[in-house]
Amino acid sequence: MIEDTIIAISTPLGYGGLGIVRLSGKKSLPIAKKLFKSKKNKAQIPPRHPILGN
């Protein structure tokens, strides 16, 4: 279980202005880089920090 990569929606279902997806595990950064585009084009995504984007 410690080696697992976990991706989960953290906001409730329905309409809203913001959606939060949490990622953890060794493979989470490569997955995030493929699926997520930061508003600030951050080269490094710091752990435990919210990043705004699409």
Residue ranges making up the domain that contains 15: 1-54
For the chain, the farthest-separated pair of C-alpha atoms sits apart, in whole angstroms, at 33
DSSP code at position 34: H
Q: The tokens 């906001």 sit on which residue?
A: 11
Question: What is the rounded CA–CA span in Å between residue 11 and residue 13?
Answer: 7
Number of domains in the chain: 1
At 10-53, the pLDDT tens digits run 999 899 888 888 888 989 888 888 888 877 766 677 778 888 88
Residue 4 confidence (pLDDT)? 93
Q: The tokens 């989470």 sit on which residue?
A: 28
38 beta partners: 53
> Could you tell me the sign of the dihedral formed by the alpha carbons of 27, 33, 38, 40, in that order?
positive
